[in-house]
Amino acid sequence: MKKIIVPIDFSEHSEYALKAAALLSKKMDVEIYALHMLDLQEVNFSQSSEFSQEKGVFFLKLAEKRFEKFLQKDFLKEVKLVPIIKHYKVFSEVNAIAKEINADLIIMGSHGASGLKEFFTGSNTEKVIRYAEIPVLILKNELNDVDFSDIVFATDFSEETIPAFNKMLDSLDFLGAKKHLLFVNSPNELFKTTPEMDALANNFLMKAEGHTNRLVNVNFVCAKSIEDGILDFSNAVGADLIALITHGRKGLSHVFSGSISEDVSNHSALPIMTFKI
């Protein structure tokens, strides 16, 4: 891991993300790209073009000063930091910037979303998760260290998730943490018997790694929903990080099918790291 992007909106939660990035930087000597996306739509372009340009320059200079002040943190001393300001707020562009600089990870602070806001618009974090092609680490609280020791990796053991599983292993290998592989059996048309779950796990590991040594870390739980199963198991084992695979659903498929990774990231107090298929 060499480059981390941290979107900044000047909130307390984006400060949590920035601090976590600094902790990783000191641990692994990575470079942090602090990204602020300025929404210039606030400028009234129905006015004369000359006046609109003046307002745009004013907002830009204001954002630059605020950004500079925000980045004056003690925990950023001796950290490689690159500030970036973009003149738009399109969340697919976070992934475009990640590709442009060849970033390895996006870290975001989030207070989640709930109720009607969650159903109709979601949170900014959700929008980044849907588009990001690299892992996204979501934080709800301030971290004092990044020494994650117990990681829950929720999976359905399907073949299409093998690349994301291998990406998870590569991304988190430096931690030396215990990885709990979790399959949640819920009471619906996808309900599995014990032999079926055993076969799924065996086949998955053989295709992913060529052996089944990791079977000792496989866990099957039953719950009313996959989200409940993930959260309950993570609390039971004292996990300090939950790793999830996301399909990056957008548009109508997202509204009707939803996204388990987004639901968990909204409702869990634990850090969440998502890996896109």
- 100 and 224 housed in the same domain: no
- 136 and 231 housed in the same domain: no
Q: Would you state the pLDDT for residue 112?
A: 62
Q: Measure Cα distances from 117 to 114, 123, 154, 266 in Å.
A: 6, 8, 26, 12
Say how far apart CA 135 and CA 152 lie, in whole Å: 15
Q: What is the reported pTM?
A: 0.84
Q: Report, as ranges of residue numbers, the positions in the chain whose pLDDT lies below 70.
A: 39-56, 59, 88-92, 112-123, 248-259, 261-262
- 129 and 16 housed in the same domain: yes
Q: What is the residue range of 123's domain?
A: 1-143
* CATH number of residue 191's parent domain: 3.40.50.620
Let me know: does 204 contact 197? Beta carbons within 8 Å: no
Let me know: does 53 contact 104? Beta carbons within 8 Å: no
Report pLDDT digits (tens) over 68-125. Answer: 899 999 999 889 999 998 876 666 678 889 999 999 999 998 876 544 344 333 467 7
Q: How many domains does the chain have?
A: 2
Q: Would you state the pLDDT for residue 5?
A: 95
Q: Would you state the pLDDT for residue 109?
A: 87
- 47 and 152 housed in the same domain: no
- 96 and 208 housed in the same domain: no
Which residues are registered as beta bridge partners of 235? none
- 227 and 167 housed in the same domain: yes
